[in-house]
Amino acid sequence: MRASLAGIWMLFVVCSFVDSYVRQPSIDAIHYAISLELTDASNFIAGTTKIQVRIRSESASDMWLDFEDMSIDRSLVGGVERPFSFHDGRPAFEFGRTYSRNEIVLIEVGYHGKPQLGLLSGENRYGGRVVFADNWPSNAHHWFPSIDHPSDKATVSLAVTAPAKYDIVANGRMEQAILLPDNRKRTEWTENRAIPTYCMVFGMAEFSIKNPKATATVPLAWYAYPQDAEVAARKFSRTALILAYFGNLIGPYPYEKLAQVESIIRMGGMENSSAIFYSEASFLGVPVSEDPVAHEIAHQWFGDSVTEADWDDLWLSEGFADDFEALFYEHSRGPEAMTLAMAQYAKSIMEYKPARSAPIVDPRQTDPRKKLNPLKYGKEHGFSLCCAGFWATKNFSRGFGSITGCMKAGIRPAVNSRRLWNRQAGLI
């Protein structure tokens, strides 16, 4: 059945956007250097975060950061200690002088405390001590000061000092692991591609680490609890095939490596850039399911590399990840796999009563956590496929091609619903 334009538009309302995050138009965080110290004695942490900020307006003399739970020991601007005060729960401070457009301001914050959100510390299902960042949607600022919104992407380096028996995995490439006195170790990782704060993560555990044969350009690694190493090898066995398929269809894989990590996160999978975390519960099935591996790998392009400009545009991330997961299964298993996927999405929508009348961009819903529901997966998937059918190839490929073209050119933007709609409709 061919959908009408009016029918499609009812799925996608752009007349009212409701992302309530207060922006700072003058401020652009471009790099985070995060240094943390962890112990086995408690779940308290000590940290220092240095932030490089680029001025985007003609002039700026102050800013604020998202930061909760921690006690601030010091705050410096350009190496000079500056006082701060809290406004609407955020530490705010003056720079000490006026900075001009494109000048870089170096902010440094030292802190300590016990994060209430964003950093999960405890035991895995085998009783081993573990720590995992669990930032989505906006919990990163509970363990490091940041502009904690997907519209402001940045590069990141992360150094973790912990007891030497633990392995540390994080975004990007491992720079070094240094043994320190008192049986401690400092592990440093660097991600040189700009990513959203909800993807800036690390994991600490006693891992079994396997490095299967890499694809032509992407080093691979599985980080699993030793008891689950063989299960992880089966779960991730088709990773190279998935990467090759998406790479040919979309563009080159955007990051330095792909680590897939067993963890204690709340969701089944989290697409952290170059370091995907999976819930330990997803390793329990007999036989183990490879879901949601293809979905999370698709997010490396859609969500991580090309990121929603605000939370109203979450459908762009989840919808495309669903699309490409289904396309991979169609490619590897045949057309019946796509039919099954569409039937499952339709079923989830029909069983989720609000989806029958609610649009994808819903002006009534302001909580990003509540935007992640069957509507955001099923209706988004159906919408994008309807677009492909309605516009045939010319206009749909204009909008989609603008995204993949950015990826192939090494540009990793934040995108919004209205601009993509207009692009697909041929209005821009």
Domain harbouring 214, CATH code:
3.30.2010.30
- Percentage of the chain lying above the pLDDT 70 cut: 81
112 strand-pairing partners = 46, 71
3-state SS of the chain: helix, strand, coil percent to 5? 30, 30, 35
Q: Number of structural domains, the chain?
A: 3
Dist. CA 268–CA 289, nearest whole Å: 12
Q: Are residues 46 and 161 in the same domain?
A: yes
Dist. CA 273–CA 374, nearest whole Å: 24
pLDDT, tens only, 216-267: 689 999 999 999 999 999 999 999 999 999 999 999 999 999 999 999 999 9
Q: Are residues 374 and 317 in the same domain?
A: yes
DSSP one-letter code for 302 = B
Q: Which of 237, 191, 229 is nearest to 210 (CA)?
A: 229
Output the CA torsion 163→44→189→410 (10° steps).
160
Phi, psi dihedral angles at 124 (to 5 degrees) = -80, -175
| 356 pLDDT higher than 70 | no
Q: Are residues 320 and 291 in the same domain?
A: no
CATH number at 379 reads 1.10.390.10
Output the CA torsion 245→251→257→263 (10° steps).
-60
Q: Are residues 222 and 263 in the same domain?
A: yes
∠ CA 247-371-389, rounded to 5°: 50
Dist. CA 35–CA 281, nearest whole Å: 30
- Percentage of the chain lying above the pLDDT 90 cut: 68
| 136 pLDDT higher than 70 | yes
Q: Are residues 301 and 314 in the same domain?
A: no
Q: Tell which of 169, 197, 225 closes a domain.
A: 197
Q: How many CB atoms lie within 10 A of CB 50?
A: 17
Q: Tell which of 287, 305, 323 closes a domain.
A: 305
User: Is the alpha carbon torsion for 275, 277, 280, 281 positive or negative?
Assistant: negative
Q: Are residues 334 and 414 in the same domain?
A: yes
Residue 426: alpha-carbon gap to chain centroid: 30
Indicate whether 54 belongs to any domain. Answer: yes
| 384 pLDDT higher than 90 | no
CB 235 within 8 A of CB 289: yes
Whether the model clears a pTM of 0.85, i.e. scores above it, the answer is yes
Q: Are residues 91 and 188 in the same domain?
A: yes
Q: Are residues 258 and 404 in the same domain?
A: no
Q: Which residue range(s) make up the domain with 234? A: 208-305
Report, as an integer, the average pLDDT of 18-26: 89
Q: Tell which of 155, 177, 197 closes a domain.
A: 197
Q: Are residues 347 and 247 in the same domain?
A: no
CB 90 within 8 A of CB 64: yes
pLDDT, tens only, 28-67: 999 999 999 999 999 999 999 999 999 999 999 999 999 9
Q: Are residues 315 and 301 in the same domain?
A: no
| 10 pLDDT higher than 50 | no
Report, as an integer, the average pLDDT of 6-11: 36
CATH number at 66 reads 2.60.40.1730
Dist. CA 360–CA 12, nearest whole Å: 5
Indicate whether 11 belongs to any domain. Answer: no
